[in-house]
């Protein structure tokens, strides 16, 4: 498979008009329907504006109800930000994007915030097969992290990974039993086999109808096919990014960062196609969704 490199990207999206044309094709794959002519007609680009016009004068903006609506930032900059966010395993900071694009920090941060909306898992198919689960903590002082002390800036996160499948990462208010079991019941198919550590809360999984296997990490990390190495690997990757790239992630936006990492993980089998997959989401993610998140 041909790698979608930066050089390929710059050739394909050489200016804003090329980017706008691509957005138009995503939003209107069958052509644009004219409200006046009441049929699909040929629309031409209006010079100097992100708008297409029918011969009758009716105009349509492909950017309406997307993350690009009313933006004054060049579309090529947006596309580059999306490209670099899909091309890097641990992400890129808004400060680095600011330096690369020559925009203000506020603009770079807002662009990345909007792009993460495309990566959010709003509707999710329940996980099946073998599913590894674990909980972790983010934030707080480094001295508190290894002890997983509640409070003091620490935030609880629930993680689930299908073997050879997808991941779901959720910022949760606490790690009480009803919280963890509630997320599991909602996100994991009752026919799945769950792998976990020996947290007492997970002893209730068999009563809930799940096949449950657990591993005692004080003795070993792998016993035949029983392990949680996939979710542990995901925690390692996310924490390297959060603490190494972003330095600090606020409680308010932690879920959006988790969505970014899980989105890249879920599309890891198609690294050269991640950019196109992310861009295709603009047809689904509208301004309405932006207000809900």
CATH topology for 130-270 is: Nucleotidyltransferase; domain 5 (3.30.420)
**CATH 3.30.420.10 intervals, the chain:** 130-270
pLDDT tens for the 293 residues of the chain, in order: 466 777 888 889 999 999 999 999 999 999 999 999 999 999 999 999 999 999 999 999 999 999 999 999 999 999 999 999 998 887 889 999 999 999 999 999 999 999 999 998 666 689 999 999 999 998 765 554 444 444 456 899 999 999 989 999 999 999 999 999 999 999 999 999 999 999 999 999 999 999 999 988 877 777 788 899 999 999 998 888 887 777 677 888 899 999 999 999 999 888 888 999 999 988 776 544 444 43
- Which residue has tokens 């670099």? 84
Whole-prediction pTM: 0.85
């Amino acid at each position: 498979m041909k790698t979608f490199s930066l050089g390929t990207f710059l050739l394909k999206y050489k200016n804003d008009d090329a980017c706008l044309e691509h957005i138009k094709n995503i939003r209107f794959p069958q052509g644009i329907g004219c409200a006046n002519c009441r049929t699909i007609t040929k629309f031409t680009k209006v010079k100097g504006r992100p708008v297409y016009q029918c011969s009758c004068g009716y105009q349509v903006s492909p950017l309406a109800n997307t993350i690009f609506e009313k933006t004054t930032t060049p579309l090529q900059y947006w596309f580059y930000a999306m490209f670099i966010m899909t091309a890097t395993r641990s992400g890129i900071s808004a400060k680095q994007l600011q330096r690369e694009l020559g925009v203000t920090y506020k603009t770079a941060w807002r662009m990345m915030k909007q792009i993460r909306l495309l990566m959010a898992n709003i509707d999710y198919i329940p996980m099946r097969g073998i599913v590894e689960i674990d909980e972790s903590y983010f934030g707080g002082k480094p001295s508190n992290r290894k002890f997983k002390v509640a409070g003091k800036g620490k935030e609880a996160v629930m993680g689930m990974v299908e073997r050879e499948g997808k991941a779901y990462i959720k910022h949760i208010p606490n790690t009480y039993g009803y919280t963890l079991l509630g997320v599991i019941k909602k996100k994991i198919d009752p026919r799945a086999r769950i792998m976990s550590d020996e947290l007492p809360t997970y002893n209730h999984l068999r009563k809930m109808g799940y096949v449950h296997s657990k591993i005692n990490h004080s003795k070993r990390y792998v016993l035949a096919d029983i392990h949680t190495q996939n979710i542990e690997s995901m925690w390692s990757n996310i924490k390297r990014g959060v603490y190494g790239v972003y330095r600090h992630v606020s409680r308010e936006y932690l879920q959006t960062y988790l969505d970014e990492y899980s989105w890249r993980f879920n599309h890891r089998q198609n690294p050269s196609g991640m950019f196109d997959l992310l861009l295709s989401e603009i047809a689904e993610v509208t301004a309405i969704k932006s207000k809900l998140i």
